[in-house]
Chains A and B, each alone.
Chain A
Amino acid sequence: MTEFTPKIVAFVCNWCAYGGADNAGSQKLEYPAAVKLIRVMCSGRVEPEMVMQAFRQGADGVMVLGCHPGDCHYRNGNMKALRRFRLFSRLLAQFGIHQDRFVFDWVAASEGKKFQTVATRLAAAVQKLGPLSLTGYVRQGEPS
C-alpha cells in the first residue's frame, strides 16, 4: 500500500492571501507540496460550489483564504466570504465531511509565516483523517 499523500486546494484572493503565499515563497518557508493554490481576485468570488467541486474532484482538504477584516481590496468581499463559509462549514458537517478538512482564514500579503502555518496545519489534519471518500454511504457494487 502506498503512503497517503493528501491533496489540498487553497482558494486564495489575489491581493492578500496569494501575496501571503508569495511571501512564504520569498522567505523560503517550506510547506507541504500537496497544498496547491487557485487564485481568484477576491475571496468574495469563491463559491461554496467551488469548494464542493474541489472535494468532489479529489481534494482531501480545502481552504479559503482572504484578506483580514478591513483590508479587502474590494471593500468587504471577505465579509461575504466569511458569512458564506461559516454557514458552509455547518453544511459540510451534515454531509459527513469532517470539519478539520475545511479551513477559512485570513492571510495578509505580508503573512508568509501565517500562510505556512495554516497550510501545514491543514495538511497535518488531513493526513491524520486519511483520504476523503466522498462516495459517502455508497458501497461499491451497488447499482452497477
Chain B
Amino acid sequence: MAKKDTLLVLCECGNNIRDKIDLEAVRAWALGDSRISQVVSHELLCSSAGKVFFTAALKKFKLRHIIIAACSPRAHENTFRSLGVKAGVNLADVNLANIREQAAWVTANKEIATQKAITLIKAALARTEYHEKLELRSMECLTDVVVIGGGIAGMEAALLSSQAGRKVTIIEKNIALGGRVIHSEELAPNMECAPCLLSPRLFKIKDDPNIRVVSFAEAVEVVGFFGNYQVTAQKKARYVKESCIGCEACFEVCPVSVKSDFHLGLGSRKAIYTLFPGSIPAGAVIDRENCLHFKDGSCAACVSACPFAAIDFSEQDETLSFSAGAVILAIGSETHAPIQNRRLGLGLLDNVYTLAEFERLANSNGPTQGRILLKNGSPPSAVAVIHCAGSLSAEGLPFCSGTCCVMALKAGEFIRKQIPAAAVYNIHDRLVFPGPEMQSFFDKQVAHGTRLLKTPDLPSLTVAADQGQLLVTGKNLQPLRVDMVLLATGQQPAADSGKLADLLGIERSDSGFFKSDHYFLRTTGSTLDGIYAAGSCLGPVFADQAVLQAQSAAGEAVSRLVPGRQIELESMTTEIDPELCGGCKLCVSVCPYKAVSFLADQGVCAVNEAICRGCGTCAANCPSGAAQAKHFTREQIDAELEGILDD
C-alpha cells in the first residue's frame, strides 16, 4: 500500500497562482490522496520568509518526498533543492510541480486550471514512487593547459599560462616548434626580423620547467569538459634519442636526399634532418619513409657518424595522455595554392611562386640562403605580383584573407633590397591595408618604386612562358613581360581542422575555420566551454593578432581555472547496468562528451560519471534497456505519464 510520505507545499505566488487556481480545492484533493501526508501553503515561497517557512516545514514533518506546487523548476528548482539538502532532504526528493507557468498563467477558466494543477501534482507524485537518491558531486578543477599547435600563437599561450604557474603541454604536429612565422625573414609592416622574434621565445620555452613540448605528435582523443579534459596524443617515433643536440654530423653522411617540406618543396633535406638549425626541440628525426635502414637495412651511416650515440632504430610510436582544465587550439592555417586555375601557371611554369614560397627564397634559412634567384640562377629584373590569386572566387577561397596585400608589397621590399634595379609590379583590383601602420607601409612601398597596375578583371589574367620570360596578359591590362610571377594567395583552414573539430566536438564556420563562441565577446573561445582557439585557425591574421588572441585565450583559461576552485559535476548522470548490457556499443558514439566507452575486457559499456553531463541520449539509444538516465528513468517517466493522463 502507498505510504503517506509526501509533503505538499503550495505556493500562492502572490496573486499569480492564488487568483487563478482554487488552492482550497487543491488542498481538499490532496488531503484525500493516499500518498500526501501534509499540505502547507505560503503566499510567496521564494521570499526570505517563504524560505524560512519551507525549511521549518521540512524539519517539522520530516517526510521523505517534498512536492512544491509553484513555479517553473527552471526558476526555483535549485533554490528549493539546496534548502532541502541543507535540511537533510536528498535533492532527488525535492520536486516542483509547475502550476504557475503551466496552469495558472495559461488557463483562463479557474476550474480547468485547478484541475490541471491537480493533474500536474499527481504526475509529480506518481514519479516519486520510483525516485532514487541523487548525489551532489563536484571536483576541483584541473588547472593545467594543453596547447595544440606550436606556432607563434601556441607558444605565446604556453608562455603566458606558464607565467601563471600552470603546467603546459604543447602538442606540435611538426618535428619542432615555430609554425609559419619561422618561414619568413622579416614581418611587415615594420620589417621585424622573424627569427629574432621567435628565437628567444623558443629558448624560453626550452628552459621553462612548466612547459613540456611534445612534437611530432597529434591529438587523437579529447574527452571531458571545462576544468576536466583528458587529451590523448599519438607521438611518432623520431629514431633519435633526446641526447641529440642537432649538431648535423649525420646530415653529411646520410645518402638520401628528399624534398624539404620546410622549404615548401623548393629545397632538399636528408632522411635524417632537423626543422632548422637551433630548433626546439633541437634533436633530429629520421624520416622512416625514405631512410635506407627502414627500406632494406642497407645503411647505418648516421649511427657511426653520431658523436652522441643518439640513433635508435628501435624507437616506437607512443601514446601519451595529458590531463588539463582547458585546451587551447593554435593549429594555424595553410597557404591556399590556386593550382586549379591553370592560367596562373602555378606548378606548371618555372619562376611562378606563391608568396609563401617566395618568402622561403628570400629567407636566409631558406633553400637559396636568402638569395632571390630565377631557376637559371640569375636574379630577376622584373617581377609581377598578382593579387587575390585564388581568392574571392567560388572555386578558390570565397573570401578576402586580409593578409596577402601586405605580404605582396613586402615582396617588393625584399626584391629591391637585393636587386635595387628590379621592377616590381603589383597587379590588383582591391587593396587592403587596414590601420595607420599598414597604410604607411603601403605608402612607403609605393614611394620606393613598387608599381601598381589596377584591373577589375583579375580572373582573366593569364601567365605564359614567352622567350625565356613570363608574359602576363589579361583584360584591361597592358601585356607585361617579367622574369618572375608571385601569386598573392590567401589562407585556408589547416587540413587537420575538420578532423580536430570532430574530435573535440566544436563547430567550424562556413569557411572551415574554427568558430568563435561569440564574434565580439568571446572571439578566442570555441563553441565548447574550455576549448579555446587562437591565431589563424580562427581565420587569417597577422602575427601580432595571433599573439593577442593567444594572450586572450590563455588569459581567460587561467583566470577561470583557479587552483582549488570546485566545478559542479552532474548529479543526474546515466548508469549502465552491466548485468543487462550486451556490449553492443550503440551508446558509445551517441555520447556528445565521449563519456561512454566499451570495456573490452568485461564486454560491457560503462559511463564515466565524471564526464557525463546527464543528457540521457545514450539511455535512449540503449537497445537492451541497460542504460538509465538518473531521475529520468523509464519507470519514472512512465509513472509521470500515468499521472498526467490520469484525470
A interface residues with partner B (beta carbon < 8 Å): 7, 9, 14, 18-19, 21-22, 24-26, 28-31, 33, 36-42, 44-47, 49-50, 53-54, 57-59, 70, 73-77, 80, 84, 116
Contacts and interface: CB of A to CB of B under 8 A. Distances in A.
Given A40-B632, A54-B641, A30 B123 contact: no
Most buried by A among B108, B115, B638: B638
A49 B622 CA distance: 12
B116 A7 contact: no
A38 B592 contact: no
Given A38-B637, A47-B620, A59-B645, A74 B102 contact: no
Interface in B68-100: 72-75, 98, 100
19 contacts: A21-B101, A25-B72, A28-B106, A31-B106, A33-B106, A33-B113, A33-B116, A36-B116, A36-B120, A36-B645, A37-B102, A38-B640, A41-B614, A42-B617, A44-B590, A44-B616, A45-B615, A45-B620, A54-B641
Nearest to B505: A75
Interface residues of B, number: 46
Interface of B: 72-75, 98, 100-109, 112-113, 115-116, 119-120, 123, 505, 507, 528, 572, 590, 592, 613-617, 619-621, 629, 632, 634, 637-638, 640-642, 644-645
A94 to B, nearest CB: 20
Given A38-B637, A42-B615, A44-B615, A54 B645 contact: yes
B106 A9 contact: no
A14 B621 contact: no
A67 B262 CA distance: 47
A96 B373 CA distance: 79
B645 A7 contact: yes
Tell me whether chain B's interface is mostly helix, strand or loop, or mixed: helix
A116 B101 CA distance: 12
A143 B539 CA distance: 71
A57 B645 contact: yes
Contacts of B632: 40-41, 45
B4 to A, nearest CB: 25
Contacts of B629: 41, 45
Given A29-B106, A37-B98, A57-B641, 11 more contacts: A25-B100, A26-B105, A28-B105, A33-B109, A33-B116, A36-B116, A38-B644, A40-B616, A44-B620, A46-B620, A74-B617
A44 B72 contact: no
Which 8 A-B residue pairings sit nearest by Cβ, starting from the closest?
A25-B101, A45-B616, A44-B617, A74-B615, A75-B592, A42-B615, A25-B105, A36-B644
A21 B637 CA distance: 19
Contacts of B113: 33
B115 A53 contact: no
A84 B592 contact: no
B641 to A, nearest CB: 5
Nearest to A50: B637
Given A50-B634, A75-B505, A30 B642 contact: no
Contacts of B620: 44-47, 80, 84
Contacts of B634: 47, 49-50
A53 B643 CA distance: 13
Contact of A42 (B75, B98, B616, B641): B616
Contacts, number: 121
A22 B74 contact: yes
A59 B645 CA distance: 7
B551 to A, nearest CB: 28
Contacts of A30: 106-108
Contacts of A74: 592, 613, 615, 617
Nearest to B116: A33
Contacts of A9: 641, 644-645
A42 B591 CA distance: 12
Contacts of A47: 619-620, 634
B615 A36 contact: no
A116 B107 CA distance: 12
B592 A77 contact: yes
Given A25-B105, A77-B615, A39 B73 contact: yes
Contact of B645 (A28, A31, A58, A80): A58
A87 to B, nearest CB: 13
A75 B632 CA distance: 19
Contacts of B590: 44, 80
B161 to A, nearest CB: 26
A46 B103 CA distance: 24
B411 to A, nearest CB: 42
Contacts of B107: 30, 33
A57 B98 CA distance: 22
Contact of A26 (B73, B101, B619, B621): B101
Contacts of A84: 620
Contacts of B102: 21, 25, 36-37
Contacts of B637: 38, 40, 50, 53
B101 A57 contact: no
B621 A80 contact: yes
Nearest to B632: A40
Nearest to B631: A41
Most chain A CB within a 10 A radius of its CB, from B108, B116, B572, B632 = B632
A26 B104 CA distance: 10
Contacts of B644: 9, 36-38
Contacts of B105: 25-26, 28
Contacts of A24: 101, 106
A115 to B, nearest CB: 10
Nearest to B506: A75
A42 B592 CA distance: 12
B242 to A, nearest CB: 40
B103 to A, nearest CB: 7
A26 B100 CA distance: 9
A116 B115 CA distance: 20
A39 B112 CA distance: 22
A50 B642 CA distance: 12
Contacts of A57: 638, 641-642, 645
B217 to A, nearest CB: 26
Contacts of A29: 106
A37 B115 CA distance: 15
Contacts of A38: 123, 637, 640-641, 644
Nearest to B620: A47
Given A22-B72, A31-B106, A39-B73, A53 B616 contact: no
A68 B614 CA distance: 19
A28 B621 CA distance: 37
Given A38-B641, A53-B638, A25 B106 contact: yes
Contacts of A53: 637-638, 641
Nearest to B645: A58
